Structure 1
Amino acid sequence: MTQGTLLQQITDYANRADPYPLYAELRRTPVARQDDGTYTVSTYWEILGLLHDPRISSDVRNRLPQEGCGLLPEQEEEGLPPSFIRFDPPEHDRLRRLAMRPFGPPHSPRRIHDMRGELTRMVTGLIDDFRDGNQVDLVDDFAYPFPVMVICKLLGVPHEDEARFHAWAEQVVAGLDPNPAEDPAERQRATQRARTELGGYLAGLIEEHRRAPGGDLLSALVTEQGPCGRMSPIEVVTTAVLLLIAGHETTVNLITNGMLTLLRHPDALKRLRADPGFAVPLVEELLRYEPPVQFLPQRTALTDIDIAGTVIPRGAPIWLVLAAGSRDPRRFADPDRFDPERPDNQHFGFGSGIHYCFGAPLARLETQIALTELARRLGNPRLVDDPPPYRRNPVLRGPRHLQIAFDGVTA
């Protein structure tokens, strides 16, 4: 086993393929202070309580200067102001309400539902491209491009601009998953350039949609006015970029972790092939069993907090280890078993509380459609490498490549 503290072992790439035994060990001390002053919280009920606790801040400006988290770089949104997930109430609440009005219930209950046909056509087209071979990298050839296609459709990006949008998105997303062979300074500069260029493009697109609104999300964000007024143009830009990055990373990992899990559990794959409705509980269990986001590393205590017998002092950084909480045996029976029939599956796959992932309905639908069609259309799919190579990022855990061999593609 990799040497170092337990948290250092969890973030070490050598343990990326299976961090769950380390999470089990971490749960023995529900709230633990690390050497750099960070406090980890790893058990279900304690995490749930803090996710709903107004004494926990998502704004890094509330962190005391002498404290820090030395195990992970801060993932700031270079080139743009921060999005609303980096804010606390009341700033967060105002912007989230404005973002949700055109995105989902209660004001726009059918926006995501009505995308089902378009999502299915996108998935069908990507799988059709597999027909010329008998092996595919599910990450590069399917899971990475699919969410960007979706966000282009959702935002109203013109077809002729999609290639440029894809290039910016790819560079921005790559900045979240550092490659040790790359120069960190150059990668940061490239990511910042991409963010700045993407922000400039979106600002121009927003102005076009303000002058001539359509039925897309950008038009709604820039024209609709709720009780809190409307978003400023830069707030629309940062919200659109948030939807791109957060939605992309969640969906890529959920699809690839999902297909990997199905190929390791052939009975579940067989059932999904026969029963598309099985995708709904299947995806919920995937969110618990192999969550796309492993922990939330950027939380701060606004005051001294006594939890599980430990006092977290004001200003201290907190890691909420969601993946450990979702396998807590005090909450889930036989938690290390993959069980799509699991009752009362209130996992942390999309978080909880005021920062619950507002793109969750879209990510669920994308993954349900993707896994159903892959199960239905790929003949005798099987893993080429198990475990596959994983992404470097310990927060956004998923395979970097997932080579799948198959015997053909059905119609």
Structure 2
Amino acid sequence: MDSATLLARITDYASRPDPYPLYAELRAAGPVVRQADESYLIGTYHEIAALLHDPRMSADPRTRGKVTRKPPFLRLDDPEHHRLRTLAMRPFGPPHSPGRVEAMRGEIDRIIEELLESFEAGQQIDVVDDFAYPLPVTVICRLLGVPREDEPLFRAWSDTLVAAADVRPGQDTAEADKAGEQARVEMGGYLVGLAEQRRGGPDEDLLSAFVNEPDPTLRLTQEELAETAILLLIAGHETTVNLITNGVLTLLRLPEHLDQLRREPGLMPQAVEELLRYEPPVHMRERFPHAEVDIAGTTLPEGASVILALASGSRDPMRFHEPDRFDPTRPDNQHLGFGSGIHLCFGGPLARIEAQAALGALMPHLAAARLVQDPPPYRQNAMLRGPRHLAVQL
């Protein structure tokens, strides 16, 4: 087939269950493949990594002059991106220290235990709706300091935001966008109000840390506080749901590795890293050159749409030995599951801890479980790829 149609074929919903043969076709076509819509598609590891670290590559869609609204900070460039990311990350603790996220392990274990209490042998469950979806929403609520009685309200807003980002064919996109924007405004107002209640009386939660920052030059504005908290929800939620669900699907398809992890639970951190490489939650990211950029013999024009196929890069045989084989003991696993460079996924550390705890706790329940439908139905979104439902017979 024509390599100029690769992006259209990869993003076609029919390819959602298994896009990996198309990624192999992409890598064979060349490091950089121009598409029919004049975008540039890149699927090889070293070229993707180089561009993720290239300061000439912008994450800001306003670079192309087609978007006027200021995007969240994960779509901004330095120095503005660096300032907001630094402010948002400060409450988590210094780099390489346990920090607030690590301190959440006990609370995460308790939330998981509560979710698993209803699981019984012989029961059919939906891994997404019954486990992988409610877990990160509840964790984010506890991390931010949302009162328990308000968690259902927070979940309703989250449902609306997720639905707005995963519109089905034939669905009214304008209506979904309007509902998503309304949920964003309401959630932002709620979080700002909650943070103001914590001013002067700091607690251990993130909102208290944001609003009681002692250095006035480092404080978030109300708008920045709301956007950062909402971004934490989205970044820490979407990645985690897909990571856990893809993990369960992979292990039920590969029972020998499920047995291996039951025998050797200490391998779980490595197994999660391998899942981030083998079945990542984030498949693609878009960038825009500030100026002409030469890469692998191709010149990327200023302002062009450049699609970095992270999931393809993480299966590049020029970087990984036997890349299509799942190996929970894989050494030197520098995958692209959470991106790289200055826009390394904001929710990554939290997603890793949640996935390790969740999959570890699920192991006894999966010992004699089976998939009810394989492949399962997938979400519409090709960039944040994961099953919409995953029916499992315990």
For the aligned pair, the TM-score class normalised by the smaller chain equals: over 0.9
Please give the residue correspondences for 1:289-304 in structure 2 after superposition, counting only pairs within 5 Å. 289-297=278-286, 299-304=287-292
Instruction: Give the secondary structure class of the aligned counterpart of 1:349.
Output: coil
1:398–1:107 Cα change, 3 Å: closer
Please give the residue correspondences for 1:37-186 in structure 2 after superposition, counting only pairs within 5 Å. 37-63=38-64, 82-106=71-95, 109-131=98-120, 134-186=123-175
Q: Is the 8 A contact 2:277 2:335 kept in 1?
A: yes
Are residue 345 (structure 1) and residue 346 (structure 2) matched?
A: no
User: What does residue 274 of structure 2 align with?
Assistant: 285
Q: Is the 8 A contact 1:285 1:345 kept in 2?
A: yes
Q: Is the 8 A contact 1:2 1:9 kept in 2?
A: no
Deviations 1:287-331 (A, max 9, x none): 00000000002x100000110000001111111110010000100
Instruction: Give the secondary structure class of the aligned counterpart of 1:306.
Output: strand
Q: Is the 8 A contact 2:3 2:26 kept in 1?
A: no
CA distance in 2, matches of 1:398, 1:140: 13
Q: Is the 8 A contact 2:284 2:310 kept in 1?
A: yes
CA distance in 2, matches of 1:184, 1:401: 22
1:257–1:328 Cα change, 3 Å: same
Q: Is the 8 A contact 1:82 1:238 kept in 2?
A: no
CA distance in 2, matches of 1:233, 1:261: 42
1:316–1:265 Cα change, 3 Å: same
Instruction: Give the secondary structure class of the aligned counterpart of 1:338.
Output: coil
Instruction: Give the secondary structure class of the aligned counterpart of 2:92.
Output: coil
Instruction: Give the secondary structure class of the aligned counterpart of 2:318.
Output: coil
Please give the residue correspondences for 1:8-407 in structure 2 after superposition, counting only pairs within 5 Å. 8-28=8-28, 29-63=30-64, 82-106=71-95, 109-131=98-120, 134-225=123-214, 229-297=218-286, 299-406=287-394
1:236–1:64 Cα change, 3 Å: closer
Following superposition, the deviation at residue 97 of structure 1 comes to: 0.9
CA distance in 1, matches of 2:122, 2:152: 25
Instruction: Give the secondary structure class of the aligned counterpart of 1:131.
Output: coil
Following superposition, the deviation at residue 212 of structure 1 comes to: 2.7
Q: Is the 8 A contact 1:123 1:146 kept in 2?
A: yes
Q: Is the 8 A contact 1:64 1:316 kept in 2?
A: no
1:199–1:401 Cα change, 3 Å: same
Opposite residue 152 of structure 2, the aligned amino acid is: A
Instruction: Give the secondary structure class of the aligned counterpart of 2:119.
Output: helix
Opposite residue 36 of structure 2, the aligned amino acid is: D
1:341–1:228 Cα change, 3 Å: farther
Q: Is the 8 A contact 1:43 1:325 kept in 2?
A: yes
Q: Is the 8 A contact 1:83 1:242 kept in 2?
A: yes
> How many equivalent residue pairs?
393
Q: Is the 8 A contact 1:381 1:405 kept in 2?
A: yes
Opposite residue 18 of structure 2, the aligned amino acid is: D
CA distance in 1, matches of 2:84, 2:190: 21
1:289–1:248 Cα change, 3 Å: same
1:359–1:384 Cα change, 3 Å: same
CA distance in 1, matches of 2:221, 2:116: 39
Q: Name the Cα RMSD after superposition.
A: 2.0
Opposite residue 134 of structure 1, the aligned amino acid is: Q
Following superposition, the deviation at residue 2 of structure 1 comes to: 12
User: What does residue 71 of structure 1 align with?
Assistant: none
CA distance in 1, matches of 2:388, 2:73: 28
Q: Is the 8 A contact 1:101 1:107 kept in 2?
A: no
Q: Is the 8 A contact 2:3 2:33 kept in 1?
A: no
Structure 1 residue runs without a partner (length 5+) = 66-73, 407-411
1:383–1:172 Cα change, 3 Å: same
Deviations 1:90-132 (A, max 9, x none): 0000111111111243396331221111111111111111238
Instruction: Give the secondary structure class of the aligned counterpart of 1:210.
Output: coil
Opposite residue 389 of structure 2, the aligned amino acid is: H
Q: Is the 8 A contact 2:200 2:212 kept in 1?
A: no
CA distance in 1, matches of 2:65, 2:393: 51
The range that moved more, 173-182 or 381-390, is: 173-182
Q: Among all aligned residue pairs of Structure 1 and Structure 2, give the percentage whose two residues are the same amino acid.
A: 60
Deviations 1:159-216 (A, max 9, x none): 1111111100111111111122522221111111111111111111111122432110
CA distance in 1, matches of 2:96, 2:317: 38
Instruction: Give the secondary structure class of the aligned counterpart of 1:319.
Output: strand
Following superposition, the deviation at residue 226 of structure 1 comes to: 5.2
Following superposition, the deviation at residue 379 of structure 1 comes to: 4.7
1:46–1:292 Cα change, 3 Å: same
Deviations 1:379-410 (A, max 9, x none): 5111111111111100010000000001xxxx
Deviations 1:237-278 (A, max 9, x none): 101000101110000000000000000111111122233211
Higher helix share: 2
Opposite residue 145 of structure 1, the aligned amino acid is: P
CA distance in 2, matches of 1:97, 1:333: 36
